[in-house]
Amino acid sequence: MKRRTFVTATAAAAISVGATARDSRAATAASSTEVSTDLAEQQRLLVLAHEARRNAYSKYSNFQVGAALLANDGTVITGCNVENASYGLTICAERTAVFKAVSMGYRPGDFRAIAVAASADGFSPCGACRQVLAEFGENINVIFEHKNQPVAKTVEELLPYRFKL
């Protein structure tokens, strides 16, 4: 079914090269907590997040969310929210994308940005997703829309004093 084919061309290429993600890990981690994506990149990721949103399984809330996670090697891993009759088992689009990426071999420091798209303006990741993103990099740029314009904040900006072990 074409509608469910949401792996982007770059992601599809990366599926077969999981080892590449591991190899490029050390060299690409950013050290600044400032936003490092430009407007064109933010807009491109938002388009991919909106495309991923179409795959949301949201029969209980009817609230579709999509995410597009950009790895430092250029791969984009998408995700959508997946709901469940037992509401607490629902998973957000952002965590779907992160967990997919981890299953492909990516690790903390491998990610540059994540765009999140929903039908509601001003939507940004929930606290749980912010905590999960922080595990993989406080410098990840989190991109969402506010008044139809891209907004980019670092995870550090969205979740200061996060829980750490």
Q: Which residues are catalytic?
A: 94
Structure tokens at 41: 């990149």
Is residue 126 a contact residue for Zn ion (CB under 5 A)? yes
Instruction: Single out the segment in contact with Zn ion by CB under 5 A; choices: 59-67, 111-119, 122-130, 155-163.
Output: 122-130
Q: Which residue, 14 or 55, has its beta carbon nearer to Zn ion?
A: 55
Minimal distance in Å, beta carbon 45 to Zn ion?
17
Structure tokens at 117: 């798209």
Q: Side chain identity at 138, as an amino acid letter?
A: E
Cβ neighbours of residue 161 closer than 8 Å, sequence gap 6 or more: none
Single out the residue of 70, 92, 117, 159 in contact with Zn ion (rule: CB under 5 A). 92
| Residue found under tokens 């967990």 | 99
Instruction: Single out the segment in contact with Zn ion by CB under 5 A; choices: 66-74, 75-83, 88-96, 141-149.
Output: 88-96
Report the residue number whose CB is nearest to Zn ion.
92
Distance CA 93, CA 22 (A): 23
Q: Side chain identity at 54, as an amino acid letter?
A: R
Binding site residues, Zn ion, CB under 5 A: 92, 126, 129
